[in-house]
Structure 1
Amino acid sequence: MKTIITALLILLTTHYGSCAKILGVFTSPGRSHYSLGRTLMKALAEKGHDVTLISSVGEKEPPKTKGTYRDIVITAVAENMKEMAKRGEMSMFDHGDMNPFTANAFLIRMLPIMMEPSLRDKEIQKLIHSNEKFDAVIVEQFMNDAEKALANHFGAPLIVLSSMGANYWVNTLVGNPSPISYIPMMSTEYSIPMTFLQRVENSLLFVMTEVLFKWFVYPGQNARIKKYIPNGPDINDVLYNASIFLMNSHPSINQAVPYVPNMIDIGGFHVQPPKKLPQDLQEFLDDAKDGVIYFSMGSNLKSAELPPEKRDAILGTFSKLKEQVLWKWEEDVLPGQPKNVKLSKWLPQQSILAHPNVKLFITHGGLLSTTETIYHGVPILAIPVFGDQKLNAKAAVNNGFGRMLPYNDITEESLTQNIQEILNDPKYRNNAKKKSEAFHDRQNTPMETAIFWIEYVIRHKGAPHLRVAALDLPWYQYYLLDVFGFLVLISLVSGCIFYYSIRAVLKKICKSKKLKQT
């Protein structure tokens, strides 16, 4: 009996000793961003950790888990977005024809403004002024660097989740090499390798981004820290403080690029096994003898907001197809709805893509949708509008499992041609299956990898040994400008010494000749 009690005490001690208090900060009002945060925090709670998730969405009923799961729902960011929408600042379809420079400036200007109210929300302020302690703070990277100061405030290691692959927002904060000679900036749609002119434009975009971040974004984030966090640290003590960056990417999805040790690929961690479909959807998919085309523009872009001419071109195309079409449409009625089109305001995308009758996914090219279609091996027709969508769409084209139709080029003719090309050429589905095989071929699941590294950081008190020395170097030392300057100076001095030495020798020779002649 005594042995049994001792064993139980050891088990209990082991369980509670490994249980950590983890704060997740995912304040973006976008449903896709919340999905990433909620999926990760729920998995940590199921592992036995006590988690708190700050978000703009929240759950009606928090999930039942082994550890505790607490929702803190803020409203300030969503309210700010509504005000911006009223002023006409958030209609993404209006920005589909932006050039890379304008699109880059738009994102850098709008995202910090959109996220500005988060720290002043009463719920976050209540938590800030509490006496709570956490073992780790996880913050999404979304132009919200001021929120990372919560890790400093709570005295916990900072873990950052990037909702996309390696990019400028991440590389500069971990000292990751990112040669602009072959890594396109996020707002472009360049193929690899880039042409000379594309490399010129990519270089100018990099310089523009550097200037805007250093002179606009970071000073603004620093002001937010000082305003909303008591004794808040300086932004420079926050930016380079992350123990690890969890990257929502993988070489099967994204371009292969260099990584420093504290950048961890977990792309696809949000993908769940297919769930049972509602009966009407199951019957619709099962009965489609010619297959199904699934059409969704994601959670941020709404199909119902498409301009009439674009909507009519899409309707005209769908009405001529023999395939059934499942369309995520956010209103009750679609004028001119063809008989082969089924509408729904919300659709279980992952379970739909898993159905064998789905032949094509027409998408905006968001990274989560791209990841899910690769997971299930379904070819895509991407209609990118903003952000990284063009880059993702171009990658699908380069990898042979999709085509890209620019939003401004949508006509009934162009849309029909692209759909028929994908449906009639088996290479697209074959390439999608190959990408899916590469995606699944891993030593551990993406979620297992994510949880391991989060617990690793907690065990090793921030794991400072993963940090590269580049973060401690001034920019001129990192780029070896001081070394180049020194070498140039030595070359000039040596050249001058050589010049004047030769000159002196020649003068002496000339003088000697003159003396002999006299």
Structure 2
Amino acid sequence: MKIFVALVCLVVFHSSKCAKILGVFPMPSPSHYILGSSLMKGLAEQGHDVTVIAPFVEKNPPKKGSYRQIELTGFVETHEQRRKEMKFFEMEDINSFLVLPIFFYVIGNVTEATLSHPNVQELLQSDEKFDAVIIQEFMNEAHKGFATHFNAPMILLSPIGACAWVNPLVANPAPTSYVPDAMLSYSSQMTFTERLTNTVFHFYTHLLYHLFNFPKHARLYNEYFPNSLPFYDALYNVSLVLLNSHPSLNQPVPYVPNMVDIGGFHINPTKELPHDLQQFLDDSKEGVIYFSMGSNLKSAEFPSEKRDAFLNVFSKMKMKILWKWEEDVLPGQPKNVKLGKWLPQQEILAHPNVKLFITHGGLLSTTETIYHGVPVLAIPIAGDQKLNAHRIVNEGFGLSLGYKEISEQTLTEKLDELLNNPKYTKNAKKRSELFHDRLVGPMETAVYWVEYVIRHRGAPHLKVAGVDLPWYKYMLLDVGVFILIVLLLSLYIFCKISKKIFSLCSKSKIQKVKRS
């Protein structure tokens, strides 16, 4: 049955008209770019004419279709400078209520820099036409002007699934009773205090959006797209949301019809490993621990006391360690530790001798470890990493260790538990089984829905009516106020009638007493 469905989908894909598609992925972070470029390369492989606005140059452009890049020169250098100034390892304890305004400020600057970039301005001033515009949704609201400017259906790509900056744009419900905000490290089973915090944070987020972020982006939108739709009309004119999520990766939550899970779409069939890595992994009969803190967090920037804790623990193990280390030298490097400034993560996780993945808990790394069924030790620092780490622990395929808790003792305890208790590997394999059990692959799903939106001219039939409702109607505040007024009025009338009856009864009693 699956083979038949896949064949039908392939026929549909290849019979689709070649479309011109613009992708807008301005965030100068490799993890964000991987998602955008993977989707656009997948569309190009299906024969579409693709244009990508991004800070990075694609090293392996697709061989099929057409793949053109509009490079946001200077973005990567600026981001690297800011990354060093921000000192990510010191952000573990920063309050979530403070993170949001920082995000608004930083992403607002990236949004404006994108719109004012000479290469982007050249595109905007051209006579080009596009059949669809795909925008990475990350609080960059003014970029929705690309879709209105080119008069094309707007498709959003959410890098972390359904969240507070995506749901309102398509009127998707997200009850705070069991859907935690992405910036809070809660599970679906929240305590009263957590539900209270989650609810307050939910309203705080929407308040900041409407009082700060939307007005700022409205100004940018009106400046760079003066002849387009009004800003708030463009804001909610979303045809489709592609979500980097899946029930095997994320908590199941409600979706409106124009939201589609494609989590794992960036994962490609594994390639051959470089000879030295292949030999290292093959010869590691005791097993290998793979250690990487992702692209923004650099292991080489660990303070000496944290680094030494890892080195002391690793030096006592029979297993080998493959460590993504961004410098040429690791002081005190044990013999069983192999370093690499860049490592092919998917190919490494696919190797049968890899027994554990030590990671920061980013969604891409979490997705890849689930794909290959490898247990995890998560060391979350910021963003959605704490939420992902919470899910890793809840689903039983890994443990979490706070950055400030890193010591020789805590590392030894966590590693001993993960490596000696078979339940973690068993649960990791189960999550992998759930991940792979799909009707069609995530990339095929993504391509189908993009082409669907193009075929049906924006697919307006998928949009729910809630998008067009004012916030007070959507939240039924007018109905609530009406019911409250009716109840108060009824109570008032009841009190008046009761008082009148009481008064009449009192008079009647008095008259009876006088007669007697």
TM-score norm. by structure 1 comes to: 0.93
Equivalent residue for 2:404, pick from 390, 402, 408: 408
* Partner residue, 1:6: none
* Partner residue, 1:150: 146
* Partner residue, 1:334: 330
* Partner residue, 1:31: 30
* Partner residue, 1:70: 68
Does the 8 A contact of 2:288 with 2:320 survive in 1?
yes
* Partner residue, 2:317: 321
Deviations 1:355-382 (A, max 9, x none): 0000000000000000000000000000
**For 1:306-317, what aligned pairs fall within 5 Å after superposition?**
306-317=302-313
Q: Distance in 1 between matches of 2:201 and 2:106?
A: 17
Does the 8 A contact of 1:381 with 1:402 survive in 2?
yes
Q: Distance in 2 between matches of 1:442 and 1:235?
A: 38
Equivalent residue for 1:273, pick from 269, 272, 275: 269
* SS of equivalent residue, structure 2 residue 52: strand
* Partner residue, 1:386: 382
Change (3 A) 1:442 1:112: same
Deviation at residue 185 of structure 1 after TM alignment: 1.1
Deviates more, 1:51-60 or 1:240-249: 51-60
Does the 8 A contact of 1:164 with 1:249 survive in 2?
yes
**For 1:84-103, what aligned pairs fall within 5 Å after superposition?**
84-85=82-83, 88=85, 90-103=86-99
Q: Distance in 2 between matches of 1:113 and 1:91?
A: 19
Q: Which amino acid is 1:72 matched to?
A: I
* Partner residue, 1:5: none
Change (3 A) 1:128 1:492: same
Q: Distance in 1 between matches of 2:123 and 2:142?
A: 16
Q: Distance in 1 between matches of 2:15 and 2:125?
A: 26
Equivalent residue for 2:292, pick from 275, 287, 296: 296
Change (3 A) 1:60 1:197: closer
* SS of equivalent residue, structure 1 residue 442: coil
Q: Distance in 1 between matches of 2:154 and 2:424?
A: 41
Deviation at residue 79 of structure 1 after TM alignment: 4.5
Deviation at residue 477 of structure 1 after TM alignment: 1.2
Q: Distance in 1 between matches of 2:229 and 2:444?
A: 33
Structure 1 residue ranges, 4+ long, deviating more than 6 angstroms after superposition? 14-17
Q: Distance in 2 between matches of 1:70 and 1:508?
A: 88
Q: Distance in 2 between matches of 1:237 and 1:76?
A: 32
Does the 8 A contact of 1:245 with 1:263 survive in 2?
yes
Does the 8 A contact of 2:286 with 2:319 survive in 1?
yes
* Partner residue, 1:8: none
Q: Distance in 2 between matches of 1:283 and 1:158?
A: 47
Does the 8 A contact of 1:187 with 1:387 survive in 2?
yes
Equivalent residue for 1:81, pick from 70, 79, 85: 79
Q: Which amino acid is 2:471 matched to?
A: W
Q: Distance in 2 between matches of 1:191 and 1:82?
A: 33
Deviations 1:409-450 (A, max 9, x none): 111111121111100010000000000001000001001110
Q: Distance in 2 between matches of 1:366 and 1:238?
A: 31
Change (3 A) 1:97 1:513: closer
* Partner residue, 1:56: 55
Equivalent residue for 2:198, pick from 202, 210, 217: 202
Change (3 A) 1:406 1:224: same
Deviations 1:180-209 (A, max 9, x none): 111111122123311111111112211221
* Partner residue, 2:455: 459
Does the 8 A contact of 1:138 with 1:161 survive in 2?
yes
Deviation at residue 63 of structure 1 after TM alignment: 2.8
* Partner residue, 2:8: none
Deviates more, 1:274-283 or 1:181-190: 181-190
Q: Distance in 2 between matches of 1:155 and 1:448?
A: 26
Deviation at residue 100 of structure 1 after TM alignment: 2.9
Q: Which amino acid is 1:473 matched to?
A: L
Deviation at residue 120 of structure 1 after TM alignment: 0.8
**For 1:98-109, what aligned pairs fall within 5 Å after superposition?**
98-109=94-105
Deviation at residue 316 of structure 1 after TM alignment: 1.4
**For 1:467-478, what aligned pairs fall within 5 Å after superposition?**
467-478=463-474
Does the 8 A contact of 1:76 with 1:117 survive in 2?
no
When the two chains are superposed, the root-mean-square deviation of aligned CA atoms in Å is 1.8
Change (3 A) 1:284 1:243: same
Does the 8 A contact of 1:225 with 1:233 survive in 2?
no
* Partner residue, 2:279: 283
Structure 1, gaps ≥5 residues long:
1-13
* SS of equivalent residue, structure 2 residue 357: strand
Q: Distance in 1 between matches of 2:60 and 2:252?
A: 40
**For 1:204-219, what aligned pairs fall within 5 Å after superposition?**
204-219=200-215
Q: Distance in 1 between matches of 2:103 and 2:391?
A: 21
How many pairs were matched up? 502
Q: Which amino acid is 2:238 matched to?
A: A
Deviation at residue 241 of structure 1 after TM alignment: 1.2
Equivalent residue for 1:450, pick from 443, 446, 452: 446
Q: Distance in 1 between matches of 2:460 and 2:242?
A: 16
Deviates more, 1:214-223 or 1:378-387: 214-223
Deviation at residue 454 of structure 1 after TM alignment: 0.3
Q: Distance in 2 between matches of 1:331 and 1:416?
A: 25
Deviations 1:137-169 (A, max 9, x none): 000011211112100000000000001121111
* SS of equivalent residue, structure 2 residue 331: coil
Q: Distance in 2 between matches of 1:415 and 1:61?
A: 38
Deviation at residue 17 of structure 1 after TM alignment: 6.9
Tell me whether 1:21 sits opposite 2:17 in the alignment: no
Equivalent residue for 1:421, pick from 417, 423, 442: 417
Q: Distance in 2 between matches of 1:36 and 1:197?
A: 35
Q: Which amino acid is 1:68 matched to?
A: S
Change (3 A) 1:60 1:286: closer
Equivalent residue for 1:439, pick from 435, 438, 441: 435
Change (3 A) 1:470 1:505: same
Deviates more, 1:45-54 or 1:196-205: 196-205
Deviations 1:252-290 (A, max 9, x none): 110011111111000000111110000000000000010
Q: Which amino acid is 1:268 matched to?
A: G
* SS of equivalent residue, structure 1 residue 269: coil
Deviates more, 1:219-228 or 1:105-114: 105-114
Does the 8 A contact of 1:161 with 1:246 survive in 2?
yes
Q: Distance in 2 between matches of 1:233 and 1:78?
A: 32
* Partner residue, 2:43: 44
Does the 8 A contact of 1:401 with 1:429 survive in 2?
yes
Q: Which amino acid is 1:38 matched to?
A: S
Deviates more, 1:485-494 or 1:285-294: 485-494
User: Percent sequence identity over matched residues?
Assistant: 57
Deviation at residue 229 of structure 1 after TM alignment: 2.6
* SS of equivalent residue, structure 2 residue 255: coil
Equivalent residue for 1:246, pick from 242, 247, 250: 242
